[in-house]
Amino acid sequence: MGASLPPKEANLFKLIVKSYETKQYKKGLKAADAILKKFPSHGETLSMKGLTLNCMDRKTEAYELVRLGVKNDIKSHVCWHVFGLLYRSDREYREAIKCYRNALRIDPENLEILRDLSLLQAQMRDLSGFVETRQQLLTLKPNHRMNWIGFAVSQHLNANASKAVEILEAFEGTLEDDYPPENELCEHTEMILYKVSLLEEIGAFDKALEELHKKEPKIVDKLSYKELEVSLLSKLGRPAEADKLYRVLLSMNPDNYRYYEGLQKCFGLYSESGQYSSDKIEKLNALYQSLSEQYTRSSAVKRIPLDFLQDESFKEAVAKYIKPLLTKGVPSLFSDLSSLYDHPRKPDILEQVVVEMEHSIRTTGSYPGSDVKEPPSTLLWTLFFLAQHYDKRGQYDVALGKIDEAIAHTPTVIDLYSVKSRIMKHAGDLTAAAALADEARCMDLADRYINSECVKRMLQADQVTLAEKTAVLFTKEGDQINNLHDMQCMWYDLASGDSYFRQGDLGRALKRFLAVEKHYTDISEDQFDFHSYCLRKMTLRSYVDMLKFQDRLHSFPYFHKAAIRAIRCYLKLHDSPKSTAEEDGMSKMAPAQKKKMKKQRKAEERAKKEAESKSEESTASGVSKSGKKNVKPVDPDPHGQKLIQVEEPMAEASKYLRLLQKHSPNALETHLVSFEVNMRKQKFLLAFQAVKQMLKLDAENSDSHRSLIKFFLKTESTSAPTTEAEKLRWSVLEAERPSISQLQNKSLVEVNEDFLGRHKDSLVHRAAYAEMLYLLDPSKKTEAIKTIEDSTDKVVQTNGAQREWKLKDCIAVHKLLDTVLLDSEAASRWKSRCAEYFPCSTYFEGKRSSVMPDSVYNSSRKSNDNGDAPNHPMGQTEMSDGQVEAFKSLSVST
Amino acid sequence: MGTGREASVSLDGVRDKNMMQLKKLNTVLFPVRYNDKYYADAISSGEFTKLAYYSDICVGAIACRLETKGGTMRVYIMTLGVLAPYRGIGIGSKLLNHVLDMCTKQNVSEIYLHVQTNNEDAIKFYKKFGFDITDTIPDYYINIEPRDCYVVTKSFAQI
């Protein structure tokens, strides 16, 4: 390095490098300038100066200098390495890899560059390149442990696990017998366990077990040892030994579900679906009976049988399970049992059992058939359970009755208000739900969970300002919104974005949804440091797991939701001309809401101005005081105004669509938005592909049906093909058409009629039929509306009235009547019909909802909108019918 | 209900963060709405104001105000109450005993309270703990009948 310079300057050059490594950038800059005075075109110095400036936040200059450096000394590996580092700092990994490769062409055995390159290759999953680089590193420096391990891991990642085993074995061959030293026991353990798990992965169970047993004295992680051993024993078909070992593990942790699962497998009593023959159920029951005698403190051993037991034996077991937990007061009991509600008969049995308990406690103070007096709180927890039970079954009236009784019994239990809030949400009154969540929040101001739950309810009720104020009660001092962002609080981003979307503020909505996407990019970036760290620390099993997790990162629900919603924003932007997008949102709102929005905007603008002037002040003072910039860069577009100015919304949408198609190909919604986007882009073949995917995933889904009809209506109505491309498209569709079973020589009208025929009793499907009927032939409007209005809500008879219609579907139907079929009279008839069905729904203005003037939540809503009313007015109203007679015994008052 | 299985009763102080619990109790227990001063007095009385928890459920409270009279400290019980379903299992006694203990420890000269003249249960309760009726104030209450109240006091022998 700096070879071409005379001694004095060469020393200076060394100083630049040293200063860069020790982060003394000013010193380095001075040295660089000193060299450049004499040799203004010295490439390596120019490069290093650029790299130094990059660390001082002078990006543009940095790139200029580094580029100039490379240009002046294209044969220098230093210049290329620096260029690579610069790109890496900006996360331009592909470019960085190119630069490193150029550097290596000049200096093929430079260890530092090879190491840097290997990290990038791991990050970019350039696996064959990764193997190559790792091999080279090992060849150059075979006495480094890390190089052996790195080469082995690279082979494993490149789907060559047996090669990885060979490499590890070769490495072990270089070790002395007394290896490892005291202080490296853990690292060595990890390496052995990694090797064994590799053997397991390639199916060499015998060899894996042998290796494990041979190395036993050197393995300090005894739990992992046992878990690996038991897994190998099972795979080798040695159930007796596995059984024994599982019981040892259970005595260490009797609540680990995986051990129970493994034990069941030993006896051939495990099924993925949870379905068992009656013979097997009996055997399972006997197994768990004996286990429960052995592990008396385990709750898993009591809970698991509830999954496989049926009917009478289930009834008996569930009663036995519930009783002590109601007596003790376990608020999570319902969520513990909620998975049982997927079963066709178990919910009925549960209802019967708990209602019996309620009755018995009320009349005798004890559980049925017992004469032990229950503590007073048992009734409370029983009511609490029943409220959640009826809520789950959609019987909101009954649920509310139970929860109100529980609140009257003991008004100080916070969970009661949270559950009531949830019931109100399900019943369709989001304002009341938010008010109740706030009441719960006020009862313990130190509880972050209740606070977050309240924020979410407020956002669902579109009280965004209030929600923000509440959320920041638990963030650090300072820049509040950024703090929420830094914490990668994605539920907040989604709920807040949803609210803005409903209110027609697409800019802010997009801002939030894209923030989620940003979090995922950050999570993906965050793995970078682990490529070197994990190899050094030998945590290889976790490292490989982490990489696999990162590979499917974008298939996680938060990303899926955010991407779908972002695309919906772009679709809306596409459909409404740019300048009027905002007005449009406004015009759809009720006048009162409009006023509210305007007010809110004004207040926000004021706040923004204040914030700006403040931040200016603080920047000024910050700089003058310490000379350091500790103020974060201000977001130039805090409200997403620039986001909605985008020229081609569909091009933006396509970016996220590609990620969805890659990572969530099994979600119907992915293909639905793909259909919508590609129809607008006039990419008919891609749209057709989306339709086919939807039909494949769920042919009877109403959205699949809609897309099918819309697609063929559109493509058939376009005039005969003229251009080559159109002809080609036409012939492809012609060839594909017979493959769609729904179409088979039928007209679209007939396809639509068939669809109705198959789903006569379903509201959602009738609505889809009606919408398509109108689309195919606008003169059939009356018929379409009649189809919807003739739908009947079947009441499912299961121990009580349960509606089949869902609130959300009824709302969708109302919107269809109102805005697509454009019949306001039918819409209002529908509305009053649904107001009967859903008396708590604010959307339908049900008579028990908070939009009614005499609602307790109505007054609370006003105070909510104004912000900080710490003690909730709802409290008194709620309690007024409570116990006034409390006065007579112990109470004393001033 | 009443004599249940063994359940633990524990006491906890009142702070800003959990004050709503005391408010909830008062709304149900007493026909009177208490003002902010009541809550400020309660918090500043420290150990003399306590919430009672019955297996982690807040079911009762005692709230006192500390007064100084001629250099000696006296304690005024503003409220003492337990939710109806949880009465008769010694929670009120536990709360009162705690405050009486604190009085002895902190050299309080006397502890007193007001009680409506027809509230016989309460009078009986306090007499059990060595309180006596020391005065009657006519027309103490405005909105409830009877309007008179007794002053019920327990004095501590000064050491």
User: Among partner residues B20, B58, B81, which is closest to A890 by beta-carbon distance?
Assistant: B81
Question: Does pLDDT of A155 surpass 80?
Answer: yes
Give the pLDDT band of residue A804 (cuts 50, 70, 90): confident
Give the pLDDT band of residue A566 (cuts 50, 70, 90): very high
B50 lies within 8 A of chain A by CB: no
Whether residue A466 contacts residue A438, with contact meaning beta carbons closer than 8 Å, is answered with: no
Question: Does pLDDT of A237 surpass 60?
Answer: yes
Q: What is the pLDDT of residue A646?
A: 85
Q: Using the beta-carbon criterion (under 8 Å), do B18 and A327 form an inter-chain contact?
A: no
- Residues facing B135 on adjacent strands: B151
Residue A164: alpha-carbon gap to chain centroid: 34
Whether residue A817 contacts residue A826, with contact meaning beta carbons closer than 8 Å, is answered with: yes
Work out the average pLDDT over A106-117.
Answer: 93
A758 lies within 8 A of chain B by CB: no
B86 CB neighbours in chain A (<8 A) are: 376-377, 410
Question: Does pLDDT of A683 surpass 70?
Answer: yes
Q: What is the pLDDT of residue A306?
A: 96
Q: Using the beta-carbon criterion (under 8 Å), do B29 and A887 form an inter-chain contact?
A: yes
Lowest-confidence pick of A110-124, A157-171, A709-723: A709-723
Of A500, A565, A489, A496, residue with least CA distance to A522: A489
Of B58, B14, B103, B18, residue with least CA distance to A445: B18
Question: Does pLDDT of A619 surpass 50?
Answer: no
Q: Residue A802 phi/psi, 5° resolution?
A: -130, 130
Work out the average pLDDT over A533-555.
Answer: 94
- Tokens representing B53 are 């928890």
Lowest-confidence pick of A418-422, A492-496, A621-625, B143-147: A621-625
CB pairs under 8 A between A and B: 141
Q: Using the beta-carbon criterion (under 8 Å), do A374 and B5 form an inter-chain contact?
A: yes
Indicate the burial class of A571 (C-beta count within 10 angstroms; 0-12, 13-18, 19 or more).
middle
Residue A92: alpha-carbon gap to chain centroid: 26
B23 lies within 8 A of chain A by CB: yes
Residue that has been written with the tokens 């890899």 in this structure:
A97
Q: Are strands B149-155 and B9-13 parallel, antiparallel or unpaired?
A: unpaired
- Coil, strand or helix at B33: coil
Residue that has been written with the tokens 């409007």 in this structure:
A781
Q: Using the beta-carbon criterion (under 8 Å), do A445 and B7 form an inter-chain contact?
A: no
Work out the average pLDDT over A64-74.
Answer: 92
Which residue intervals of A217-304 are DSSP H helices? 222-235, 239-252, 257-266, 278-294, 300-303
Q: What is the pLDDT of residue A604?
A: 60
User: Among partner residues A373, A411, A893, which is closest to B30 by beta-carbon distance?
Assistant: A893
A374 lies within 8 A of chain B by CB: yes
Please give the DSSP secondary-structure letter assigned to residue B154: E
- Residues facing B75 on adjacent strands: B66, B111
Please give the DSSP secondary-structure letter assigned to residue A634: P
Mutate to test the interface with B, among A358, A409, A438, A890 (most CBs of B within 10 A): A890
Enumerate residues 224 to 243 of chain A having a beta carbon within 8 A of any beta carbon in chain B. Answer: none
Contacts of A837 (CB under 8 A, 6+ apart): A793, A803, A805, A810
Whether residue A657 contacts residue A674, with contact meaning beta carbons closer than 8 Å, is answered with: yes
Q: Residue A345 phi/psi, 5° resolution?
A: -110, -20
- Coil, strand or helix at B74: strand
Give the pLDDT band of residue A553 (cuts 50, 70, 90): very high
Whether this prediction's pTM lies above 0.90 is answered by no
Q: Using the beta-carbon criterion (under 8 Å), do B119 and A876 form an inter-chain contact?
A: no
- Tokens representing A120 are 């990038």
CA angle in degrees (0–180, nearest 5) for A600-A606-A610: 140
Out of B34, B98, B114, B141, pick the active-site residue.
B114
Whether residue A865 contacts residue B66, with contact meaning beta carbons closer than 8 Å, is answered with: no
Work out the average pLDDT over A43-58.
Answer: 92
- Coil, strand or helix at B134: strand
CA angle in degrees (0–180, nearest 5) for A391-A397-A400: 70
Whether residue B2 contacts residue A376, with contact meaning beta carbons closer than 8 Å, is answered with: yes
Whole-angstrom distance, CA of residue A628 vs CA of residue A624: 8
Give the pLDDT band of residue A877 (cuts 50, 70, 90): very low
Question: Does pLDDT of A257 surpass 50?
Answer: yes
Whole-angstrom distance, CA of residue A809 vs CA of residue A403: 26
Whole-angstrom distance, CA of residue A831 vs CA of residue A80: 70
User: Among partner residues B5, B16, B84, which is closest to A445 by beta-carbon distance?
Assistant: B16
Diameter over CA atoms, chain B: 47
Q: What angle, rounded to 10 degrees, do the helices at A763-776 and A748-758 form?
A: 170
A740 lies within 8 A of chain B by CB: no
Whether residue A826 contacts residue A818, with contact meaning beta carbons closer than 8 Å, is answered with: no
- Coil, strand or helix at A561: helix
- Coil, strand or helix at A840: coil
User: Which chain A residue lies closest to B16 (C-alpha atoms)?
Assistant: A445
Give the pLDDT band of residue A862 (cuts 50, 70, 90): very low
User: Which chain B residue lies closest to A442 (C-alpha atoms)?
Assistant: B20
Q: Which of the pair, A736 or A402, is modelled with greater confidence?
A: A402
Of A757, A742, A762, A759, residue with least CA distance to A692: A742
User: Among partner residues A444, A875, A890, which is closest to B87 by beta-carbon distance?
Assistant: A890
Residue that has been written with the tokens 């026909």 in this structure:
B31
Whole-angstrom distance, CA of residue A787 vs CA of residue A769: 8
Whole-angstrom distance, CA of residue A339 vs CA of residue A67: 61
Whole-angstrom distance, CA of residue B126 vs CA of residue B153: 9
Question: Does pLDDT of B158 surpass 80?
Answer: no
- Coil, strand or helix at B152: strand
B36 CB neighbours in chain A (<8 A) are: none
Of B99, B118, B26, B38, residue with least CA distance to A886: B26
Contacts of A261 (CB under 8 A, 6+ apart): A270
Identify residue A519 by its one-letter amino acid code.
Answer: H
- B76 included as an active-site residue: yes
Out of B76, B98, B140, B141, pick the active-site residue.
B76
- At A297-330, the pLDDT tens digits run 999 999 999 999 999 999 999 999 999 999 999 9
Lowest-confidence pick of A433-442, A603-612, A863-872: A863-872
Q: What is the pLDDT of residue A860?
A: 43
Q: What is the pLDDT of residue A340?
A: 95
Give the pLDDT band of residue A482 (cuts 50, 70, 90): low
Work out the average pLDDT over B70-78.
Answer: 90
Q: Using the beta-carbon criterion (under 8 Å), do A875 and B24 form an inter-chain contact?
A: yes
Q: Using the beta-carbon criterion (under 8 Å), do B20 and A328 form an inter-chain contact?
A: no
User: Among partner residues A376, A876, A882, which is closest to B1 by beta-carbon distance?
Assistant: A376
Residue that has been written with the tokens 């791991």 in this structure:
A122
- At A2-25, the pLDDT tens digits run 557 888 889 999 999 999 999 999
Question: Does pLDDT of A746 surpass 90?
Answer: no
Q: What is the pLDDT of residue A497?
A: 95
Work out the average pLDDT over A284-293.
Answer: 94
B58 CB neighbours in chain A (<8 A) are: 412-413
User: Which chain B residue lies closest to A413 (C-alpha atoms)?
Assistant: B57
User: Among partner residues B16, B25, B115, which is closest to A892 by beta-carbon distance?
Assistant: B115
Q: What is the pLDDT of residue A578?
A: 57
Residue that has been written with the tokens 């209005």 in this structure:
A789
Region label for A566, one of left (φ > 0), alpha (ψ between -120 and 50) or beta (otherwise):
alpha
Q: What is the pLDDT of residue A738?
A: 83
Residue A133: alpha-carbon gap to chain centroid: 35
Chain B: closest CA distance from residue A448 (Å): 12
Whole-angstrom distance, CA of residue A188 vs CA of residue A217: 11
Of A59, A61, A60, A81, residue with least CA distance to A70: A81
Question: Does pLDDT of A872 surpass 70?
Answer: no
User: Among partner residues B23, B27, B86, which is closest to A376 by beta-carbon distance?
Assistant: B86
- Coil, strand or helix at B112: strand
User: Which chain A residue lies closest to B149 (C-alpha atoms)?
Assistant: A894
User: Which chain B residue lies closest to A879 (C-alpha atoms)?
Assistant: B28
Whether residue A99 contacts residue A123, with contact meaning beta carbons closer than 8 Å, is answered with: no
- Tokens representing A685 are 């073949």
* Residue A454: its H or E element: helix A448-460
Please give the DSSP secondary-structure letter assigned to residue A236: T
Please give the DSSP secondary-structure letter assigned to residue B155: E
Tell me what percent of chain A is helix, strand and coil, each rounded to the nearest 5: 75, 0, 25
User: Which chain A residue lies closest to B119 (C-alpha atoms)?
Assistant: A888
Q: Are strands B72-82 and B110-116 parallel, antiparallel or unpaired?
A: parallel
Q: Which of the pair, A577 or A334, is modelled with greater confidence?
A: A334
A446 CB neighbours in chain B (<8 A) are: 17-18
- B114 included as an active-site residue: yes
Enumerate residues 75 to 134 of chain B having a beta carbon within 8 A of any beta carbon in chain A. Answer: 77-87, 89, 92, 113-116, 119, 121-122, 125
- Tokens representing A275 are 């379905």
Work out the average pLDDT over A642-648.
Answer: 84
Whether residue A530 contacts residue A546, with contact meaning beta carbons closer than 8 Å, is answered with: yes
Mutate to test the interface with B, among A409, A448, A883, A893 (most CBs of B within 10 A): A893
User: Among partner residues A373, A376, A892, which is closest to B122 by beta-carbon distance?
Assistant: A892
Q: Using the beta-carbon criterion (under 8 Å), do A890 and B125 form an inter-chain contact?
A: yes
- Coil, strand or helix at A319: helix
Indicate the burial class of A376 (C-beta count within 10 angstroms; 0-12, 13-18, 19 or more).
buried
CB atoms within 10 A of CB A835: 18
Question: Does pLDDT of B74 surpass 70?
Answer: yes
Buried b / exposed e over A216-249, threshold 16 CB at 10 Å, is eeebeeeebbbbbbbbbbbeeebbeebbebbbeb
- Residues facing B154 on adjacent strands: B111
Residue that has been written with the tokens 């924003």 in this structure:
A569
Whether residue A569 contacts residue A512, with contact meaning beta carbons closer than 8 Å, is answered with: no
Torsion sign across C-alpha atoms A766, A772, A777, A782: positive
A415 CB neighbours in chain B (<8 A) are: none
User: Which chain B residue lies closest to A444 (C-alpha atoms)?
Assistant: B18
Q: What is the pLDDT of residue A663?
A: 93
- Residues facing B153 on adjacent strands: B112, B132
Question: Does pLDDT of A765 surpass 80?
Answer: yes
Identify residue A878 by its one-letter amino acid code.
Answer: E
- At A836-857, the pLDDT tens digits run 889 889 999 888 888 777 676 7
Whole-angstrom distance, CA of residue A382 vs CA of residue A825: 46
B32 CB neighbours in chain A (<8 A) are: 893-894
* Cis-peptide into A180, omega within 30 deg: yes
Mean pLDDT of all residues in chain A? 86
